[in-house]
Chains A and B, each alone.
Chain A
Amino acid sequence: MIRFVVAFVAAVAAFPAWAEINIKEVTSPGGIKAWLVEEPSIPFVAMELRFRGGTSLDLPEQRGATNLMVGLLEEGAGELDAQGFARESEALAANFGYDSNADAVSISARFLTENSSEALELLRLSLIEPTFPEAAIERVRKQVLSGLRSSLTDPDKIASKRMSAVTYGEHPYASEGDGTIESVTALTRDDLVAAHKGALAKDRMYVGVVGDVTAEELGPMLDALLGELPETGTALPERAELSFAGGVDVVDFDTPQSVALFAQPGIHRDDEDFFAAYVLNVVLGGGGFESRLMTEVRQKRGLTYGVYSYLVLRDLADVYLGSVSSANDRIAESISVIRSEWARMAEDGATPEEVEKAKALLTGAYPLRFDGNGSIASIMVGMQMDGMPVDYIVNRNDYVNDVTVEDVNRVAKELLDPEALTFVVVGKPDGV
């Protein structure tokens, strides 16, 4: 056996200078704004489009319309049917992803430089000229319904559905964006056409592009791709009113391991204490193996494979959410440990060492996110949606480093609310 006598030095003062990500703000001749990073070293382009609103734009009786509509964009467009569209994109080796969540419709595209105009024309067809053929509607509807049936017996889905229902009251966030078996069954082609018109509009559109394209080339490209979209769409919902009853809400479901979610009010990204809360969360439950929740629930007691907490920043609500799962006869202990850690942090706060470690983790991990053209395009779109300036990337680690242990502990007292911490448990939990 070799003996290593070198000590492992944990604390390192300065992080290296990260490669600069040079973002250009481009405005097309037609007035479409985009953020661009020119990256000519690999002959392809990654493009991320996002339309604010997403499934929350659904009318209450048409829950699932946006989700089904987005699923149909590549299932018939222009003169192409679903198979024709797929054949063309395969032949170009272009990849288009269409997705929706409670805050946005997202389109992720990746295409080769050598056939970029053909690929963009194909993408344009799907965004501007989807045809929603009846046969495709029925086929994709069946897929959505199959997913909905499966989620009825999936403990993770049951838990998140229940948590949304008890948290968000009358807001669209209170129900699932993919709708219910009843609502999706009832959707008509007209509903989908209306959902398309209402969701994909220029006044809520954000564009990020990274790859082998110049600012001069991009402008006309964007006009050709997006110029025909309507100027405006469906009005966005108001902010959600949240309620947290405290206590434990059990959904009886016969499965060996109970799945639990816990939640309380969160904090807005624009709040001056946001970064202190962010650091606090890393110490409490957001920092992977190192967090207090992981240490207490997993490392010391072996009660779970994973316990995490997250500051959930939605456009219209801010929630502090957590998750854990333990065997039915052990979940009660997990919940009790989480509650006491929540209270301990509120009362005693974090130690200076914990805060420094959390800051090192956050500042060090931030540059690791920029790991490819697609990731960078996605980050840039997210920044635009959150109203951040281009130089946020450069300054972000300073915001983290400026947080003091006093900030963290003051915010811990103000933010953490063990009384409001509400648990939803799905399973056959003992002693809960």
Chain B
Amino acid sequence: MKRLFAAALGVAVLALPAKASELVTDFMLDNGMQVVVVEDHRAPVVMHMVWYKAGSADEQAGTSGIAHFLEHLMFKGTENLESGEFSSVVAANGGRDNAFTSFDVTAYHQRVASDRLELMMQMESERMVNLRLNPEEVVTERDVILEERNQRVENSPGALFREQLNAAQYQNHRYGVPIIGWKHEMETLSVEDAQAFYDTYYAPNNAILLVAGDVEPEAVKVLAEQYYGAIPTNPDLPERVRTKEPPQISPRRLTYNDPRVAQPYVTRSYLAPERNPGDQKTAAALTMLAEVLGGGQTSVLSQKLQFEQQKVVYAASWYNGTTLDETTFDFVVVPVPGVSLQEAEEAMDAVVAEFIETGVDSEQLERIKMQLRASQVYERDSVSSLANRYGRALTSGLEIADIQAWPEILQAVTEEDIIAAAQMVFDKRKSVTGWLMGEEEVTQ
């Protein structure tokens, strides 16, 4: 049986497929709004999205959560839309709509029949400029986001722990402040805070229109010019310059005890460079490093800690380079009963140190590259995820050319690049280690 598969391995050379990028067209409106169209004509459906280059890390100190709060308020009234009418019209037209906020972006999206695209543009362009905040509604909606925080964070010891870890990792950059906001600041968010964020950042020259589905780029262009093109540029749009982290010269550790924790675990993060325009090689090496070390069943951490030493039920590493500013490389190890967090942490460190000594298994690297090539086939089945990938990258400071070059940069990563990336990033002095434990947990 093995031999059969060895043969399969031999032919696993999937040529780079018809590139996903061939489905993509992009252009710029005169007012500075970027437009990206992803074509998929298999079903008469379209995804219409507007991404603003403004997320929680763009907030003013003291108003944490305002980017996300504004996202909620965008579903309230505008000059020509009653409160709730936006979603109501989408629903009445058989569509679905929603929005999300992250550190670097706030995005609004609708999925509808492709012949309703114009209606979506009409409404989305309306709320880009004509939002009307009603003080009473703002106060009620603030209770909603506080309940959202309760649900997502206060009720989850893991989420509270992650907030603390982030705050320890970023001491001078807004990535250290939760996207949903600190509770005490959320409670004071005002109409004026929301209006100020809206006036500063919601403008065509700070937005990207992404349309994915059964559409022709030319037709999208005509509609985009009519609806979004009519909105004037905001000449006062601030440059996206954020405070930087000081050099980290000492490891940071924290322990969070919560009686609601039944399964303790250890986390580790290191500050790491992100993808930058024209400069993605290091990020590509880190992306591959995360896969090799802790990306799945056959990764180094799983193999050593879960299968050989049987010290953990789960071990993983990950890295997200698609951010505007400096990102992190992360680990988690979840020990089996009887193995202390100290022991799990030491075992993890030993495996990483040994990995740097022995180097990358070339067969494993080839399997990962094969999966990345295949992901370009699979991605064509989901144009909305393809569009999301563009949106995420373009709001993180990257250009179309960077996005399209990325798959080949990943394929070009060598074993030496991966080890060099590990040596660069895994500097204990620049680490944050966290222990999440129940109240009764005994440390050794």
* CB <8 Å contact, A155 and B42: no
CA distance A118 to B84 in the complex (A): 52
CA distance A41 to B373 in the complex (A): 17
CA distance A301 to B375 in the complex (A): 45
Instruction: Return the contact of A10 from the options B92, B141, B155 (Cβ within 8 A).
Output: B92
* CB <8 Å contact, A152 and B262: yes
* CB <8 Å contact, B140 and A301: yes
CA distance A361 to B145 in the complex (A): 26
* CB <8 Å contact, A142 and B262: no
* CB <8 Å contact, B45 and A371: yes
* CB <8 Å contact, A363 and B94: yes
Which of under 10, 10 to 19, 20 to 34, or 35 or more describes the interface residues of A? Answer: 35 or more
Instruction: Return the contact of B147 from the options A44, A304, A372 (Cβ within 8 A).
Output: A304
* CB <8 Å contact, A289 and B75: yes
Instruction: Return the contact of B150 from the options A15, A149, A256 (Cβ within 8 A).
Output: A256
Instruction: Return the contact of B381 from the options A17, A364, A374 (Cβ within 8 A).
Output: A374
* CB <8 Å contact, A360 and B92: yes
Distance in Å: Cβ of A7 to nearest Cβ of chain B:
8
Task: Tell whether B200 is near chain A: CB-to-CB under 8 Å.
Answer: no
Known: A146-B313, A302-B141, A325-B150. A153 touches B260 (CB 8 A): yes
Distance in Å: Cβ of A292 to nearest Cβ of chain B:
13
Within 8 A of A (CB), among B363-390: 363, 366-368, 370-371, 373-375, 377-378, 380-382, 384
Known: A153-B262, A360-B91. A368 touches B45 (CB 8 A): yes
Determine the chain A residues whose CB is within 8 A of the CB of B1 once the complex forms. Answer: 78-80, 125
* CB <8 Å contact, B313 and A143: yes
CA distance A1 to B374 in the complex (A): 47
* CB <8 Å contact, A327 and B147: yes
Distance in Å: Cβ of B120 to nearest Cβ of chain A:
11
Task: Tell whether A112 is near chain B: CB-to-CB under 8 Å.
Answer: yes
Task: Tell whether A235 is near chain B: CB-to-CB under 8 Å.
Answer: no
Task: Tell whether A42 is near chain B: CB-to-CB under 8 Å.
Answer: yes
Most buried by B among A84, A122, A256: A256
Instruction: Return the contact of B8 from the options A15, A91, A367 (Cβ within 8 A).
Output: A91
Task: Tell whether A357 is near chain B: CB-to-CB under 8 Å.
Answer: yes
Most buried by B among A7, A326, A368, A374: A368
* CB <8 Å contact, B262 and A91: no
Stretch of B236-244, B267-275, B296-304, B401-409 at the chain-chain interface? B296-304
Within 8 A of A (CB), among B129-177: 129-130, 139-148, 150-151, 154-155
Determine the chain A residues whose CB is within 8 A of the CB of B139 once the complex forms. Answer: 302
* CB <8 Å contact, A361 and B92: yes
Distance in Å: Cβ of A237 to nearest Cβ of chain B:
30
CA distance A12 to B43 in the complex (A): 20
CA distance A367 to B263 in the complex (A): 42
Task: Tell whether B423 is near chain A: CB-to-CB under 8 Å.
Answer: no
Determine the chain B residues whose CB is within 8 A of the CB of A2 once the complex forms. Answer: 129-130, 230-232
Nearest chain-A residue to B373 (Cβ)?
A: A93
Instruction: Return the contact of B91 from the options A110, A154, A288 (Cβ within 8 A).
Output: A288
Known: A10-B88, A139-B306. A256 touches B8 (CB 8 A): no
Determine the chain A residues whose CB is within 8 A of the CB of B81 once the complex forms. Answer: 8
Task: Tell whether A305 is near chain B: CB-to-CB under 8 Å.
Answer: yes
Determine the chain B residues whose CB is within 8 A of the CB of A372 once the complex forms. Answer: 381-382
Determine the chain B residues whose CB is within 8 A of the CB of A306 once the complex forms. Answer: 151
* CB <8 Å contact, B88 and A90: no
Stretch of B10-18, B55-63, B424-432 at the chain-chain interface? B10-18
Distance in Å: Cβ of A233 to nearest Cβ of chain B:
26
CA distance A303 to B382 in the complex (A): 36
Instruction: Return the contact of A365 from the options B96, B115, B303 (Cβ within 8 A).
Output: B96
* CB <8 Å contact, A149 and B262: yes
Distance in Å: Cβ of A269 to nearest Cβ of chain B:
22
* CB <8 Å contact, B147 and A303: yes
CA distance A255 to B152 in the complex (A): 12
* CB <8 Å contact, A361 and B94: yes
* CB <8 Å contact, B43 and A18: yes
Nearest chain-B residue to A95 (Cβ)?
A: B378
Within 8 A of A (CB), among B81-110: 81, 84-85, 87-89, 91-96
Determine the chain B residues whose CB is within 8 A of the CB of A42 once the complex forms. Answer: 377, 380-381
CA distance A15 to B111 in the complex (A): 14
Task: Tell whether B246 is near chain A: CB-to-CB under 8 Å.
Answer: no
Task: Tell whether B261 is near chain A: CB-to-CB under 8 Å.
Answer: yes
Determine the chain B residues whose CB is within 8 A of the CB of A15 once the complex forms. Answer: 94, 113
* B391-407 contact mask (Cβ, 8 Å, vs A): 1 or 0: 00000000000000000
* CB <8 Å contact, B12 and A91: yes
Determine the chain A residues whose CB is within 8 A of the CB of B230 once the complex forms. Answer: 2
Task: Tell whether A101 is near chain B: CB-to-CB under 8 Å.
Answer: no
* CB <8 Å contact, A365 and B155: no
* CB <8 Å contact, A364 and B113: yes
Determine the chain A residues whose CB is within 8 A of the CB of B263 once the complex forms. Answer: 146, 149-150
Within 8 A of B (CB), among A20-46: 39, 41-44, 46
Instruction: Return the contact of A139 from the options B12, B111, B310 (Cβ within 8 A).
Output: B310
Determine the chain B residues whose CB is within 8 A of the CB of A4 once the complex forms. Answer: 79-80, 122, 125-126, 130
Nearest chain-B residue to A119 (Cβ)?
A: B8
Task: Tell whether A407 is near chain B: CB-to-CB under 8 Å.
Answer: no
Known: A83-B298, A365-B96. A290 touches B370 (CB 8 A): no
Task: Tell whether A82 is near chain B: CB-to-CB under 8 Å.
Answer: yes
Known: A18-B43, A91-B12, A256-B155. A112 touches B377 (CB 8 A): yes
Nearest chain-B residue to A143 (Cβ)?
A: B313
CA distance A88 to B75 in the complex (A): 48
Determine the chain B residues whose CB is within 8 A of the CB of A303 once the complex forms. Answer: 143, 147
Most buried by B among A41, A92, A365: A92
Distance in Å: Cβ of A48 to nearest Cβ of chain B:
14
Determine the chain B residues whose CB is within 8 A of the CB of A364 once the complex forms. Answer: 91, 93-95, 112-113
Distance in Å: Cβ of B406 to nearest Cβ of chain A:
18
Instruction: Return the contact of A287 from the options B91, B119, B231, B297 (Cβ within 8 A).
Output: B91
CA distance A373 to B297 in the complex (A): 26
Instruction: Return the contact of B374 from the options A18, A39, A112, A374 (Cβ within 8 A).
Output: A112
Nearest chain-A residue to B113 (Cβ)?
A: A16
Instruction: Return the contact of A8 from the options B12, B89, B370 (Cβ within 8 A).
Output: B89
Task: Tell whether A115 is near chain B: CB-to-CB under 8 Å.
Answer: yes
* CB <8 Å contact, B381 and A305: no
Smallest CB-CB A-B distances: 3 pairs: A364-B94, A302-B143, A93-B374
* 25 A-B contact pairs sorted by A residue (CB < 8 Å): A4-B125, A5-B80, A19-B43, A41-B42, A79-B2, A82-B307, A83-B298, A86-B297, A90-B296, A91-B366, A115-B11, A139-B306, A139-B310, A143-B314, A146-B263, A152-B262, A290-B84, A303-B147, A305-B151, A325-B155, A326-B150, A364-B93, A367-B45, A371-B382, A374-B381
| Interface residues in chain A, defined as those with a beta carbon under 8 Å from any beta carbon in chain B | 1-12, 15-19, 39, 41-44, 46, 78-80, 82-84, 86-88, 90-93, 110, 112, 114-115, 118, 121-122, 125, 139, 142-143, 145-146, 149-155, 254-257, 259, 287-290, 298-306, 325-327, 330, 357, 360-361, 363-365, 367-368, 370-374
Given contacts A78-B1, A146-B336, A152-B262, 5 further A-B contacts (CB under 8 A): A10-B85, A16-B115, A18-B44, A92-B12, A146-B334
| Interface residues in chain B, defined as those with a beta carbon under 8 Å from any beta carbon in chain A | 1-2, 4-5, 8-9, 11-12, 14, 17, 42-45, 75, 79-81, 84-85, 87-89, 91-96, 111-116, 119, 122-123, 125-126, 129-130, 139-148, 150-151, 154-155, 230-232, 259-263, 296-298, 303, 306-307, 310, 313-314, 334, 336-337, 363, 366-368, 370-371, 373-375, 377-378, 380-382, 384
